[in-house]
Amino acid sequence: MAGPEQATEICFLYIDHWLTRLTKSEWASWFQAIFSVVAILASAGAVYWQVTRQRREREQEAVQAKAQAIKDIAESLEHVDKWVGAANGLASETFEGGEVSRFLRF
């Protein structure tokens, strides 16, 4: 009568240590455990990368919106400056012509 079969040990790198003398199912279990942890960490890293990238994109959009607002304000101020300059020119012509002086007589 034949006895129960023993599981075949597979020695890793021919090092005689208890960690290296594992059966095929033990090796499979260890690899599954290790790579499950690696997969979890990789997925967490991917989520972190996506969130960080989206945050950076939102910050860049906010900076661009502020820059555009400043540009719009600067353009508006240029127009106001031109209008004020034109109004000053018109006022100086009016004052020099003496037209206002006749309204200011007491």
| Domain-located, residue 20 | no
* pLDDT level of residue 46 (50, 70, 90 thresholds): very high
What is the distance between the alpha carbons of residues 61 and 33, in angstroms, rounded to a whole number?
42
End-to-end CA distance of the chain: 140
Q: Identify the domain containing residue 67 by its residue range.
A: 31-96
Res. 85: pLDDT tops 80: no
| Domain-located, residue 25 | no
Mean pLDDT on 58-65:
96
C-alpha distances out from residue 104 to 88, 96, 98, Å:
19, 14, 10
What is the distance between the alpha carbons of residues 104 and 106, in angstroms, rounded to a whole number?
6
What number of other Cβ atoms are within 10 A of residue 22's Cβ? Answer: 17
| Domain-located, residue 53 | yes
Tokens encoding 39: 């997969």
Res. 100: pLDDT tops 80: no
| Domain-located, residue 46 | yes
| Domain-located, residue 14 | no
pLDDT of residue 10: 58
Closest listed residue to residue 36, CA positions, set 11, 44, 23: 44
Res. 104: pLDDT tops 60: no
Residue 17: phi, psi to the nearest 5?
-140, 155
Mean pLDDT on 29-38:
95
Res. 53: pLDDT tops 50: yes
The more confidently predicted of residues 10 and 32 is 32
The more confidently predicted of residues 14 and 41 is 41
What is the distance between the alpha carbons of residues 81 and 72, in angstroms, rounded to a whole number?
14
- Per the structure, the count of domains in the chain is 1
